[in-house]
Structure 1
Amino acid sequence: MKFFRALFALIFSVMLVGLGILSPFVVYWLRHLPDYRELDSLTLGSTTKVYARDGSLVGILSPTMSNGGHINRTLVDLDQVSPYMQASVITSEDRRFFEHYGVDVLGILRGVYKIVKGQRLEGGSTLTNQVVKNTLLSNLADKRTEPGGLQRKIQEWVLSIQVERSFTKEEVLNHYLNVIYWGRGGPVDILGVHGAARAYLGKLPRDLTLAESVYLTRLIPQPARYFHYKEIRGLMRSLLDDMVEDGWITPQERDAAWQEKLQPRGWKVKYDNKGNVLEARLVNEKAKNLPSVVTERAPHFLQQVERELIAKFGREKVYGSGGLNVYTTLDPKAQVSAEKASIEAQVPPGATLGMVILDPYTGEVLAMVGQKLKPSQAPSEWNNAAQGARQVGSSIKPLLYTTGIEQGIPQSHTEFDEPTDFGNYKPQNFGGKYSYKDLTLRWSLDHSLNIPTLKLAKKVGLNNFMSKLRTMDLNAPDDVGLSLAIGTLETSPLKMAAAYATFVNGGIWYRPSYIRRVEAQNGQTLFDSWRDRPEKRRVFSPQVAYVGLDMIQGVVNDLSPEQGNLAFKARIPGWQVGGKTGTTNEQKDLWFVGVTPVAVGAVWVGKQEGGGMPANFYSGTVNPPIWQNMMAGYLSGKPPVTFAQPDGITYKTVDGYKAAFVTERATRAVRPDSEPQAPVYTSVQSLPQDYSTSVVAIDTRTGKLADEFTPPDRVKLRRVSGDDTGFLQ
């Protein structure tokens, strides 16, 4: 007896010393606990549905945890799961589930006893622990033996207690069944009971028999048991016996389940009349593979919508309170065309891409693809179209040249092309070739020459150019230097497309947008893009923007391929097209940003991790065909239209080409960066006088009242009742 008292005193003393040492760490870990209330995001009735602009369903947003852990998108409610499945999971994974409060103290003590006895440690982890580990602590889930293992375990226990105080046992079980890992299903993970039932048995969770439920349950600790069917049968028998012992099933149900001739997908199994396996052959191990294509359309676009929704309304509004109905800017035809172009794109080995299509008159994103797509494969989540920040190369030059036009430097202006030292900066033209003569800006842009471009940048002023870029949300570091003029700016295809949209719409920059309208489940409108309009600002006058447009049309159309045209493969029969390529040093980043009268688009190609590509790949050969494939598919079936030309434009011949110029009168009338002026309309036919109605100017694109941003050719006069004008605001 004295021996045991002494042993207990020793153990207690060691524990006190250990607690004293660990206490500062424990306090720190507890201060940095995730919020257990995030599990509310798994409320199954709170789904947010996302629709395209034609009303078709794009996808359903299901929650991700704030630490980045992902929850399976196919969630099921507990009443959609077979009672046999529920009972077998509880019996196998946590027999004291209804007796503990998140932490099974008896299970922990039993585990300590087994360690002392030198036996193999089993169990001890409750269903609640596993829910916490697979969601709130997913970033620490694999830290078992390293120092982080103790942190994980302590946080897991505390969070489990918090969860049990806030959720019912049924809710905890429901969460468990939706987040537990069930192995690999080909190129995707099998997460949750829905995926497991479909992958291994080809059934819905609600239709699972007792035998099938026990089989799936025995796969949870070790999904590789799938490959050893005969071995798993013994484990199934012991679980059936435990379920009888715990009162979940009767002995008769156990015997009937044992005699069921279970056939997991990919297996051919022969049984005798007593349920014993005579022969089991794995004939197709890929039979359990889940489809690798994503279940929702436009995954990268959907990802951006999700981020914008959370930023606008918060996670609780998006995933709680019944969810939302979200009507987006996505154009299904544009998206299909972009995805097709991505699949068919010929890119350098190891390279990927990012591509986007925008409506230049609203900034609405019509299509987005963030990766090089491959048939029947889910793309990486990283979105190069919106998240990437890569050097843009020569695709920045049209923005500089148009800034020069704004300062009164016409496209007939010349700069001498020769090797030039810009003060410790000695750039070269592509290929080290120089003409040693005066070249016009149009010629220099057509041939993408660096030296004349840099000389123009000196005249424009680097600070002036940087300021202009910032008005289009293109932010360069203050110390970037003169190299900014030839493309050291880092940004995304999305932002470059928005900048080029100013050429098409008369000089207005629109912040790209994804959402047109958001409604709560009760029909209340929470957001309407025509009421809560996205940010926009004028960056060029309509005349200056049109001259810039004329120059990038020249890039595509002035030269023949034999004359060195870098963008001729972007041409679309029947349509006016303008654009510019961009290639950075060592072919690290390849670009084409282009415009049509109805849409603008950008395509970036490069390696995800960065680094150069083979020298025989450059933007002129790689990007324009991808862009053309994307845009031509979207424009097919649409009647061709032309770019709208504002007043105040005249034409002269430059280098043998018809080139646009801003008239002297227009130059005096519109100051650089002036406030947008309301359009002036002339030659309007008078309408009959009717004092019960009002004549209003309507923007034909939107059906709303026209404003200073509405192009003149999109304005129509309409007579409406005086009571109806409020609906047009």
Structure 2
Amino acid sequence: MKFFRALFALIFSILLVGAGVVSPFVVNWLRHLPDYRELDSLTLGSTTKVYARDGSLVGILSPTMSNGGHINRTLVDLDQVSPYMQASVITAEDRRFFEHYGVDFLGILRGIYKTVKGERLEGGSTLTNQVVKNTLLTNLADKRTEPGGLQRKIQEWVLSIQVERSFTKEEVLNHYLNVIYWGRGGAVDILGVHGAARAYLGKLPRDLTLAESVYLTRLIPKPARYFDYKGMRGLMKSLLDDMVEDGWITAQERDEAWKEKMQPRGWKVTYDDKGNVLEARLVNEKAKNLPSVVTERAPHFLQQVERDLIAKFGREKVYGSGGLNVYTTLDPKAQDSAEKASMNAQIPPGATLAMVILDPYTGEILAMVGQKLKPGQVPVEWNNAAQGARQVGSSIKPLLYTTAIEQGITQDHTEFDEPTDFGNYKPQNFGGKYAYRDLSLRWSLDHSLNIPTLKLAKKVGLNNFMSKLRTMDLHAPDDVGLSLAIGTLETSPLKMAAAYAAFVNGGTWYRPSYIRRVEAQNGRTLYDSWRDRPEKRRVFSPQVAYVGLDMLMGVVNDLTPEQGNLAYKAKIPGWQVGGKTGTTNEQKDLWFVGVTPAAVGAVWVGRQEGGGMPANFYSGTVNPPIWQSMMAGYLAGKPPTTFAKPDGIVYRMVDGHQAAYVTERARKAVRPTGGDPTPVVYQSVEKPPEDYSTSMVAIDTRTGKLADEFTPPDRVKLRRVYGDLTGFMQ
């Protein structure tokens, strides 16, 4: 004790002398500490449950720290953990837990003393220290030898003291049991006592016996001990003895626990009557994989749901008020199909991908995969489907061509195809090939030619096209130049799918949505997509949108592979399909965005860090098969339907193909307004009869309310009604 007192006095004196010198720097440094109050959200009652559209559980949103630190998705309260587990953890990891205030200075001094004497290094880390380290300070180095190690340790101590002042010992222990790392479980990390109990023993935390609790506790410092069960027995014996010494258990309980014939998952162990291990064989080293432990599905979709919820309600509502029940747009069949397609996708070495499926009539997201999935591996968290912004290449061309249709240009309009200087901009067709003749819009889109497309863009007007793109939430820099027409726009697969949805639904853009309904724990509805309608706007008339759709179907169907069809591999037997590929310079980004009458989908392939891919990989060979696999799996078993054709469409032959045109009468029904067309008038209402107690009205058969500009023509029915129309307008 004399040594400890002298050492403490020396350290205290040094700290006093240095305090006056460094205090200004320390104050500034401490201002940048994480907020320890974030730990408030680590409680069982704060979990938010997320469900798919069929009512099945997608996952549980338990909090993440603001710096990105993650905790176990399945939180447990302290009364759901065996008392033996609690006692064994305290005994093994922090025997002075109830005596210190977050930092065990006596333990630190003891560690220094042993280090000076050349004995085993002890860090004196407390349970509180480990909670802080595993949540608030996960982004800092955790190595004693690194220069930042001392800084990290001091921050850890300061935060630990703050935590101890604000939380009870029981709360700190509860947090520890929920966040501590327990090793790998196949494709995922085992975090928290719930995951550990399920992974290693196939049990719930509340059902753990004394022997099982001791076994799990001895895995905490070194999870690799799982592979040496015989070696674990000695460690378990010493911990049982320590628990008797500390008064947690009796000697009889210790002896009974020692004789328990425990069988960790994957092991076959035989014992004698005294509890000694006779034989221990690891019969299945993959037994602690966690498909049954981790209930989370569709991780990238779930990630976006979490962001959306926090944006709508704030962290406190999501995590601090008992949690929420969230009913999402996710379709399990669509998600399974997308994940299977991602798993089987043949893409260039070192590349990844993104995939999304949308309901074109509502903007609801049915499926989302943000990375290339690989068996047994956790996907990277970055979500290319929603967070990525990549050049879209030729997949933008259908939006330009349809804008031209809106201005009165038709599919048989021609542009001369030859090398062209656009004034310090000398683009080429793919492969440097030119026809040296007039080519129709349909031909040019079928063959994805750049020169006719750029000439068309000059006629449409770049500002007009940019304005049109903005109506679909596609934003290009003001100085992008004419190259915008052939794909220098940067955006996400999700936004491209939403833009293409307008071709299917009659010209309406819907803001993509993840959530249908949100309920508080008391059942009160906080959000309902039917009541709180997601944003939508008309971007094309139904007739113009249908001509654009007709051109998209032409891309998939007009040509044979020998004639240069880039999208024929997207065909789905029995279904109408349209779509467009996109390949950027040096094959940096490969795209296919496609449509069917039931769903719209987008597939992007590229390198996560950017950069070109091998020259023999391009969008026509890579993306359509992936898209087809994803969409065909989702559509399997559904009765095929066809695209709804509005009134005001006629067909003429263009380059040997039936091509859609807007009739003159239908065109006059819409005043041209550049990028923001006026809503189309579908049909006139008959003159009111002499009896003014009745009226003839156009009804949307889907809602039973008055039809508006967003109602597809085939859903409009004329009905005679009596009296006031107010009820239909609510």
Specify if TM > 0.5.
yes
Deviation by residue 1:558-606 (Cα, 9 ceiling, x = unmatched):
1122211111222233332221111122222211111122321111122
CA contact (8 A) 1:446 1:558 kept: yes
- Greater CA drift, 349-358 or 278-287: 278-287
- Which residue pairs with 1:663 in the alignment? 663
SS in 1 for 2:592: strand
Report the alpha carbon displacement of residue 493 of structure 1 after superposing the two structures with TM. Answer: 0.9
- Greater CA drift, 275-284 or 424-433: 275-284
Describe the shift of the 1:221–1:340 C-alpha distance in structure 2 as closer, same or farther (beyond 3 A): closer
Describe the shift of the 1:301–1:419 C-alpha distance in structure 2 as closer, same or farther (beyond 3 A): same
SS in 2 for 1:122: coil
Q: Say yes or no: does 1:699 pair with 2:700.
A: yes
SS in 1 for 2:580: strand
> What letter is aligned with 1:657?
H
Q: Say yes or no: does 1:155 pair with 2:179.
A: no
Describe the shift of the 1:33–1:705 C-alpha distance in structure 2 as closer, same or farther (beyond 3 A): farther
> What letter is aligned with 1:602?
A
- Which residue pairs with 2:479 in the alignment? 479
Deviation by residue 1:428-456 (Cα, 9 ceiling, x = unmatched):
21111111111111111111111111121
- Which residue pairs with 1:389 in the alignment? 389
- Which residue pairs with 1:677 in the alignment? 679
Q: 1:342, 1:720 → 2: CA distance? A: 52
Report the alpha carbon displacement of residue 130 of structure 1 after superposing the two structures with TM. Answer: 0.9
> What letter is aligned with 1:616?
N
Q: Say yes or no: does 1:561 pair with 2:585.
A: no
Q: Following superposition of structure 1 onto structure 2, how do residues 109-508 of structure 1 map, counting pairs within 5 Å? A: 109-140=109-140, 142-291=142-291, 295-375=295-375, 377-508=377-508
> What letter is aligned with 2:679?
Q
Report the alpha carbon displacement of residue 245 of structure 1 after superposing the two structures with TM. Answer: 1.3
Describe the shift of the 1:687–1:25 C-alpha distance in structure 2 as closer, same or farther (beyond 3 A): farther
SS in 2 for 1:532: coil
Q: 1:597, 1:25 → 2: CA distance? A: 64
CA contact (8 A) 2:342 2:372 kept: yes
Deviation by residue 1:343-402 (Cα, 9 ceiling, x = unmatched):
333323333221111122221112222223344544332222112212111111111112
CA contact (8 A) 1:414 1:438 kept: yes
> What letter is aligned with 1:421?
D
- Greater CA drift, 274-283 or 421-430: 274-283
SS in 1 for 2:139: helix
Q: 2:374, 2:690 → 1: CA distance? A: 61
Describe the shift of the 1:213–1:725 C-alpha distance in structure 2 as closer, same or farther (beyond 3 A): farther
- Greater CA drift, 254-263 or 176-185: 254-263
Q: 1:351, 1:529 → 2: CA distance? A: 36
Q: Following superposition of structure 1 onto structure 2, how do residues 606-617 of structure 1 map, counting pairs within 5 Å? A: 606-617=606-617
- Greater CA drift, 641-650 or 706-715: 641-650
> What letter is aligned with 2:124?
G
> What letter is aligned with 1:361?
Y
Q: 2:499, 2:489 → 1: CA distance? A: 13
Q: Say yes or no: does 1:512 pair with 2:506.
A: no
Report the alpha carbon displacement of residue 213 of structure 1 after superposing the two structures with TM. Answer: 1.3
SS in 2 for 1:387: coil
Report the alpha carbon displacement of residue 698 of structure 1 after superposing the two structures with TM. Answer: 4.5
SS in 1 for 2:384: coil
> What letter is aligned with 2:557?
N
Report the alpha carbon displacement of residue 222 of structure 1 after superposing the two structures with TM. Answer: 1.8
Structure 2 residue ranges without an equivalent (≥5):
none
Report the alpha carbon displacement of residue 59 of structure 1 after superposing the two structures with TM. Answer: 2.2
Q: 2:20, 2:387 → 1: CA distance? A: 46
Report the alpha carbon displacement of residue 118 of structure 1 after superposing the two structures with TM. Answer: 4.2
Q: 1:563, 1:589 → 2: CA distance? A: 24
CA contact (8 A) 1:48 1:60 kept: yes
Q: Say yes or no: does 1:51 pair with 2:48.
A: no
> What letter is aligned with 1:595?
V
Deviation by residue 1:678-724 (Cα, 9 ceiling, x = unmatched):
74545779999997x99875533455553321112223467899999
Report the alpha carbon displacement of residue 676 of structure 1 after superposing the two structures with TM. Answer: 4.2
- Greater CA drift, 661-670 or 496-505: 661-670
With structure 2 as the length reference, what TM-score do the two structures score?
A: 0.92
Report the alpha carbon displacement of residue 498 of structure 1 after superposing the two structures with TM. Answer: 0.8
- Which residue pairs with 1:712 in the alignment? 713
> What letter is aligned with 1:579?
G
Describe the shift of the 1:522–1:474 C-alpha distance in structure 2 as closer, same or farther (beyond 3 A): same
Describe the shift of the 1:638–1:185 C-alpha distance in structure 2 as closer, same or farther (beyond 3 A): closer
Report the alpha carbon displacement of residue 114 of structure 1 after superposing the two structures with TM. Answer: 3.1
Describe the shift of the 1:250–1:580 C-alpha distance in structure 2 as closer, same or farther (beyond 3 A): same
Describe the shift of the 1:721–1:45 C-alpha distance in structure 2 as closer, same or farther (beyond 3 A): farther
Deviation by residue 1:76-122 (Cα, 9 ceiling, x = unmatched):
22222111111011111111111222222322332333344444331
Q: Say yes or no: does 1:650 pair with 2:662.
A: no
Describe the shift of the 1:277–1:51 C-alpha distance in structure 2 as closer, same or farther (beyond 3 A): closer
SS in 1 for 2:581: strand
CA contact (8 A) 2:420 2:426 kept: yes
- Greater CA drift, 678-687 or 68-77: 678-687
SS in 2 for 1:544: helix
CA contact (8 A) 2:575 2:641 kept: yes
Describe the shift of the 1:233–1:331 C-alpha distance in structure 2 as closer, same or farther (beyond 3 A): closer
- Which residue pairs with 2:63 in the alignment? 63
Q: 1:377, 1:723 → 2: CA distance? A: 62
Q: 1:471, 1:4 → 2: CA distance? A: 72
- Greater CA drift, 257-266 or 588-597: 257-266
- Greater CA drift, 242-251 or 23-32: 23-32
Describe the shift of the 1:360–1:261 C-alpha distance in structure 2 as closer, same or farther (beyond 3 A): closer
Report the alpha carbon displacement of residue 247 of structure 1 after superposing the two structures with TM. Answer: 0.8
CA contact (8 A) 1:85 1:210 kept: yes
SS in 1 for 2:286: helix
- Which residue pairs with 2:39 in the alignment? 39
Describe the shift of the 1:31–1:433 C-alpha distance in structure 2 as closer, same or farther (beyond 3 A): same
> What letter is aligned with 2:75?
L
Q: 2:554, 2:263 → 1: CA distance? A: 67
User: Sequence identity of aligned pairs in percent?
Assistant: 87
> What letter is aligned with 1:260?
E
CA contact (8 A) 1:676 1:709 kept: no
CA contact (8 A) 2:647 2:713 kept: no
Report the alpha carbon displacement of residue 74 of structure 1 after superposing the two structures with TM. Answer: 2.2
Q: 2:269, 2:584 → 1: CA distance? A: 60
- Which residue pairs with 1:100 in the alignment? 100
Describe the shift of the 1:283–1:625 C-alpha distance in structure 2 as closer, same or farther (beyond 3 A): closer
Structure 1 residue ranges without an equivalent (≥5):
none
Describe the shift of the 1:63–1:701 C-alpha distance in structure 2 as closer, same or farther (beyond 3 A): farther
Describe the shift of the 1:690–1:108 C-alpha distance in structure 2 as closer, same or farther (beyond 3 A): farther
Describe the shift of the 1:177–1:704 C-alpha distance in structure 2 as closer, same or farther (beyond 3 A): farther
Describe the shift of the 1:252–1:652 C-alpha distance in structure 2 as closer, same or farther (beyond 3 A): same
Count how many residue pairs are aligned between Structure 1 and Structure 2. 726
Deviation by residue 1:291-315 (Cα, 9 ceiling, x = unmatched):
3995223222222111100110011
Deviation by residue 1:139-190 (Cα, 9 ceiling, x = unmatched):
1252533343233222222222222222222221111111111122233222
With structure 1 as the length reference, what TM-score do the two structures score?
A: 0.92
Q: Following superposition of structure 1 onto structure 2, how do residues 536-547 of structure 1 map, counting pairs within 5 Å? A: 536-547=536-547
SS in 2 for 1:285: coil
> What letter is aligned with 2:708?
D
- Greater CA drift, 608-617 or 433-442: 608-617
